Structure formats: C-alpha cells, structure tokens
Structure 1
Amino acid sequence: MTSLELTLTGAQILLPSGLERADLGLADGCVVSSVTGRRIDLAGYLVLPGIVDLHGDGFERHMAPRRGAMKEMAEGVVAAEAELAANGITTAVMAQFWSWEGGLRSPEFAAGVFRAIQQVRGNVVTDLIPQLRFETHMLDDYAALPDLLEEWQVPYLVFNDHLPHDRLAEGRKPPRLAGQALKAGRSPEAHLEMLMALHANGDRVPAALDALCLELQGRGVIMASHDDHSAADCAAWQARGLRISEFPETAEAAEARRAAGGHVILGSPNVVRGGSHKGNASAVELIAMGYCDALASDYHYPSPRRAALMLARSGVLDLPAAWALVSSGPATILGLTDRGELAPGKRADLVILDAQNHRVAATFAGGRVSYMSGDAATRFLS
C-alpha cells in the first residue's frame, strides 16, 4: 500500500522534545528526519502523535444498530473504523465481550465480530487489534478458548467478572434481570438459573484461571484484569503473570498494580465527565497521584483526545505528559515500539488538530490518510 511523501510545515508539532514549530517529514509510512516531497502549510494547526486506544467497545452500535440487524458485520467494522479515524485514533483495540449476558456479548456474536475484523483489517487504514473480554466463571469455555484466540488472531484478552455475586449469594434476583434475559433470548427464570449455576462455579475458578493463564502466557497472549478493587485482587492476577489493570475501581488497587511494576489503564470518559458513573475512583485524582499509564476510550471514541486536552488545560499535567497517556503510554503497554511518538523511524501515525477549537482536521496512520476534512483537506489537495 502506497503512503504519502510530504513535509508538514508551519504547525506546532509535539515532538519527543516537546511542542515546537518545526517541519515534519513523512515518507514510506514513517517519520523521516529530512525535508521530503510536497510541502503542506499547516499554520494554525497542531500535529500530535496518533492516538493508541487500548480498550474501546463503542463499535457495538455499528455492528448491530438495531436488535436483529447483525447481518453485515464487516460493514459495521468499516463504519466503526471511519469513526475511529475521525477522532484521531490510529491504533484501536476493539474490545468484544464473551459473556453470559448473551446478545451482543454472546460467544456467538464474538465469533462474528472477530471474523469480520479479520475480513476487513487489510483494507482499512486504522490498525485494528481485537481484544476478547472473557467472563471468568464460564468454566465450560476454558478448554476451547486458546485455540479460538489463535484462529481469530486475537492477541489480547481481558478477564472480567460481572456476575452480581452479592445478590446471588443471598438468593435474591439481581436488578434488571428481565431486561438482561430478554437481550439474551431467555426467560427470566432460565436466566436466573444460569446465573446461579455460574455463581456456584466460584470455588473452581481460581485453579482454572491459573491453568488458563499459564497456557495463554505460553502462546504470547497479552492479558489484563478488569475492575480490580483491592491490592489482593492485583496480587492474585500478578501471580498469574498479568501486568495490566483496566479501570481499577480504587486508589488502593491502582497503587498496588503500579507498585508491582504493572500498568494501569483508566477510562477517558471518567476524566471528561469529572468522575466515574459507577461511583468508583476518580480518574483525574488517580492521574494526579501518578497511578495511570494510559487512557482508553472505553465506550466513547472522542474521549481520549478530549481527556488529554482537558488534563493539559487544567494543569493536572503538561501537554506532552497528558498526550503521552493516549499515545506513547498505550503503545508501550502493547509492546508497539514502532509508534506513539513523532520521531524519525517511527510510523507516521499522527492527528492534526485545529489549534483554536482542537477539533480533528486530519488523521494519518502509517503515512496514509484515514480521515481529512475542511480547510485542512483543502491545503493538502490544492
């Protein structure tokens, strides 16, 4: 695939040394140290490293815009990729559930999503990385999981446990039972019976996880825990070889993960909103305490850009440190050493923002245009 040969001039560019007015050369899909190709005047714009989104499930509405409308899943991935690009995301981890919740989070739907990503990823510009979010109490699915991940080319797995254990332990119906059952295509009675059976697996889960994590680690799968609540949670996952914690619910958990040499991913919507919608720890406070390595879109693709800029504007971090949470930080967590900063030899992954309103004007991934609009497009095309 052919990439552009250009030199961007006149813009404020976020380089490893900081924000500078400088020329930026692009050739063969990479940043180059010399001036090359056609010069594009980008006065009035900011050029920043492309956003690496470590966890996003905002594509669900593209895959199934209405109940039952799930026939063209590959087209849904293409539509989602366009939204990712329009929000400055150049590498996107697409987080798909494998859950007892059924519907869009069922194992069957997950298989369709991953096959659709395989089908289109060679024909889109954004680098799409599939992630499986696996519910820990689904013991019957453990044996097949490693081979399925290999078949679907899924390099990243996150362990979740969203069972309402407190209610189930008390023998009470969980909230929203009827709605969940409807989405899963079950009667409320059958859904509750299934939840109770999964809850009863609890004593067998730790040993099963030990064996599964060992197997996946041997296959090179990246693994993370989700919604850690305590230092004990982090220690248990650490013992299984996991080094990444997605969206820890408390400062205790975030501190424990960092103290053990691991990585903490927080949700950008938490930053933009000013707090967790579930009443968990404030992402801004955890960032100020130094307990964050990366911000992810979670369910809202505009949020990584907005969160990083809000952190810089409010003085919690300076712009280079804030933007690192959505670029070099997540790239490091994934082991993607070829991206995350605008340095010679790195991939030409970048987002161009209007300097006044900070809206995305253009996005390049691997030196190819994935999104371009307005006055910026006129400058490139004229």
Structure 2
Amino acid sequence: MAIECTLVGARVLRPEGFEVDALSLSGGAIRETEVGRQVDLAGYDVLPGIVDVHGDGFERHMAPRRGALRERDAGMVACAAELAANGITTAMLAQFWSWEGGMRGPDFAEEVFDSVAQVAGSVPVDLRLQLRLETHYLESFERAEAAIERFGIGYVVFNDHLPHKRLSEGRKPPRLTGQALKSGRNPEDHLRLMRGLHEASARVPQALDALCARLAGQGVLMGSHDDHTAETRAAWRARGVCVSEFPETMEAAEAARQAGEPIVLGAPNVVRGASHAGNVSAIALIAEGLCDALASDYHYPAPARAAWRCVELGLLDEVAAWGLVSAGPAQLLGLEDRGALVPGKRADLVVMEPESRRIVATLAGGQVAWMSGAVAGRFLG
C-alpha cells in the first residue's frame, strides 16, 4: 500500500540541484501540495530512485548452487529485497538466451521470466525483463520470439560470445571444460556445437535483419552489446538496434554519440576504475560525455557508488552524476513517469545518509521497499 505523507527537513535532489524542501507523496506519486502527516527527515538526503537498465545479479538468487536448489519464486523475492536495499526502484533483469546452456539457456530463461511474472505484482520494486539473445543461436530465434511475446518483454539485446578467432584457427577456446560443464555438456559436444555455430556465420546477418524488423514492428527496444568498432555500430543501427550497451572502444562509443544513440556503461567499471576485460574505461568515456546510463551489470550496489565516484573524480556534478542512474536510464527505456522528484512522477525515491552515502530507505511507487535503522523511527513515529 502506498503511503501518504509529506517529507520535510531533508535535502531533496531536484533537477536543478539539492535544496531543503518538502516532498509530498500520495497514491504512489509525488504531489504538488502537502498531504498527510509530516515525516521529519532532517539530516538526510532524498534522491530519485535508481533505474537499473541492465543487471544480471539476480542469478545467484535463482540458482545459488548449480543443480542444488530450484526455489525460483523465493529467489526472485530475495532479489527484489536486495535491489531495494541498494536504492533500485526499477530493475531491468538481463537474462541470457544462449547456446551456452545452463543458466544462459532458454529453459532457465523461461523459468526466470515465469518467476518475474509470478512475483512482480507482490513486491514494490518494478521488475522488468531484458532478453539477451545470442546472434548465432539461429535455431532458437522462433522460440525466443515466442517468449518475448508471451512475457511482454520490451527490451532485447544482442550478444555474440563465440570465440570466432580461436575457432577459425582450429584451436580450442580457453576455459572450454568449465564452460561445457556449466552447460551440462561434455567438452567434445560443446566444442562441436560452437564450431557448427561459427561455420554458419554467413547465415546470421540475414536472419538478424528479419528478426530485428519483426521486433521493431512490435515496438521492442533493441540494443547491441560490446560494440567494438564504428562499423559494428553502423550495422546494428541499420537494423533499428539503437542502444549501445558497454561499448568496448572509444571509437564505438563516439559513433553511437554522433548518431544520437544512447550509451549504457557498467557501473562496476566506474567503481573499479577500469574494465575487467581490458576494454576502454567507463571513466574515460564519461569524461568525454559518452554515457547516458550506468547499469549494475552484475553488482547491484554499484550504480549508487559509481554515481558518487563520478562526483569524487570531478567528472560530473551531483545532478548529472545521479542522473546517470535515474533520469538517464528512465529516458532510455521510455519511462517518462519516473527518474526525477517532480510532481506527477512516480514516488520512487531513496533516503541516504549524506556523510556515509548509505541508503537507509527506499520507496518504490510510494510503497516502502526497504528501510533500516534510525530512519524507520522517523516514518513510524
């Protein structure tokens, strides 16, 4: 149930900056005039809720130990709690649909999608779905399309995790045995599958052209993952795939920006200060204005920390930095009803301790999604 109250005494992050101001909440939205009882939040900061445009940190909740536990719905409830504890009020759960099998295969994906469908209405955090489709998994395109329609998936991202260079040279890919075991195959069968997919590469562009045209006709937002060159980005652009997720080079990011296309970077990359895979640093891209949204990627605490890291490094002011995890991703996803603390928007917000920057409360759609410590007494008193 959405609470009705007016928050007073806190610094509120408005689109113009922080100001000590009242913030009224009613019916799950932010209101123009004071409503309900007052809640004194003096000494705290109130910021827009985080919109996470791409995150797969839910995997450890859904399958904490491979093959040992299958409490999917309970895992998704636990995931929603973790999201809220980290200030995330809208979460795009990025699930693989891949030949890699196991937790990246279609069977597991459909379990995840079904769990979200079962749980979404019972938790305050807005849980949404992204399907990450492997470009060479042609035999499963039809099934993937059926899942997109069945579960109302509005965001599809294209990946290619085949080690093409190794395969073209006739060499075994690194970590083959471990990947095969995760997929439930023996290494020989896994390698045979990879070689077959690689050898069918000539069929992929035409199949992607047709698939993207169908998805575009349904209004599905599409993105490409790990763009490496301007040519790669141009090829995806021609298919109507407009979002560039985690570009690997300055060249690819600049190509997206010149075309007016949104760029998503990984928040862990910012927190770490470098890409774990040796690609271009997200900090370097942000310094050049080549970022519209920071995503949790695989670590839900990262977006909030990355935003403040941008401030600490002098890359952005507080409004612009927090905008990379709120207004920016909301705009990218076409969610005009959130991302800023202004009247008429959803009551998605986080309450933060200014010194430690620890998130102590999260409201999603005006409902309490997370609350801890002394701030709870302010709301309950």
**TM-score for the superposition, normalised by structure 1:** 0.99
**1:192-203 alignment to 2 at 5 Å?**
192-203=191-202
| 2:64 pairs with 1:74 | no
**1:41-120 alignment to 2 at 5 Å?**
41-120=40-119
For residue 142 of structure 2, give the secondary structure of its aligned residue in structure 1.
coil
**1:268-283 alignment to 2 at 5 Å?**
268-283=267-282
For residue 99 of structure 2, give the secondary structure of its aligned residue in structure 1.
coil
8 A contact 1:163–1:195 mirrored in 2? yes
Residue 5 of structure 2 is matched in structure 1 by 6
8 A contact 2:97–2:144 mirrored in 1? no
**1:106-145 alignment to 2 at 5 Å?**
106-145=105-144
Residue 316 of structure 2 is matched in structure 1 by 317
User: How far off its partner does 1:67 sit?
Assistant: 1.3
Question: In structure 1, what is the Cα distance between the partners aligned to 2:313 and 2:198?
Answer: 44
Q: Cα deviations across residues 250-291 of structure 1 (Å, max 9, x unaligned)?
A: 010001011111100000000000010001011011001010
Residue 363 of structure 1 is matched in structure 2 by 362
8 A contact 2:262–2:292 mirrored in 1? yes
For residue 291 of structure 2, give the secondary structure of its aligned residue in structure 1.
coil
Question: In structure 2, what is the Cα distance between the partners aligned to 1:68 and 1:51?
Answer: 32
| 2:20 pairs with 1:21 | yes
Residue 236 of structure 1 is matched in structure 2 by 235
User: How far off its partner does 1:102 sit?
Assistant: 1.3
User: How far off its partner does 1:300 sit?
Assistant: 0.3
Structure 1, unaligned runs of 5 or more: none
Question: In structure 2, what is the Cα distance between the partners aligned to 1:144 and 1:194?
Answer: 19
* Matched pairs, number: 381
Q: Cα deviations across residues 31-85 of structure 1 (Å, max 9, x unaligned)?
A: 1111111111111111000000000000100000111134211111101000000
Letter in 2 for 1:374: G
Question: In structure 2, what is the Cα distance between the partners aligned to 1:314 and 1:169?
Answer: 43
Which moves more between the two structures, 150-159 or 228-237? 150-159
User: How far off its partner does 1:101 sit?
Assistant: 1.5
Residue 175 of structure 2 is matched in structure 1 by 176
Residue 259 of structure 1 is matched in structure 2 by 258
For residue 228 of structure 1, give the secondary structure of its aligned residue in structure 2.
coil
Question: In structure 2, what is the Cα distance between the partners aligned to 1:300 and 1:148?
Answer: 26
Question: In structure 2, what is the Cα distance between the partners aligned to 1:296 and 1:150?
Answer: 25
Question: In structure 1, what is the Cα distance between the partners aligned to 2:314 and 2:37?
Answer: 37
**1:325-364 alignment to 2 at 5 Å?**
325-364=324-363
Question: In structure 2, what is the Cα distance between the partners aligned to 1:101 and 1:215?
Answer: 25
Letter in 1 for 2:14: L
Question: In structure 2, what is the Cα distance between the partners aligned to 1:262 and 1:291?
Answer: 10
Question: In structure 2, what is the Cα distance between the partners aligned to 1:145 and 1:73?
Answer: 20
Structure 2, unaligned runs of 5 or more: none
For residue 159 of structure 1, give the secondary structure of its aligned residue in structure 2.
strand
User: How far off its partner does 1:145 sit?
Assistant: 2.4
Task: From the superposition, tell whether residues 135 and 70 of structure 1 become closer, same or farther in structure 2 (CA, over 3 Å).
Answer: farther
For residue 374 of structure 1, give the secondary structure of its aligned residue in structure 2.
coil
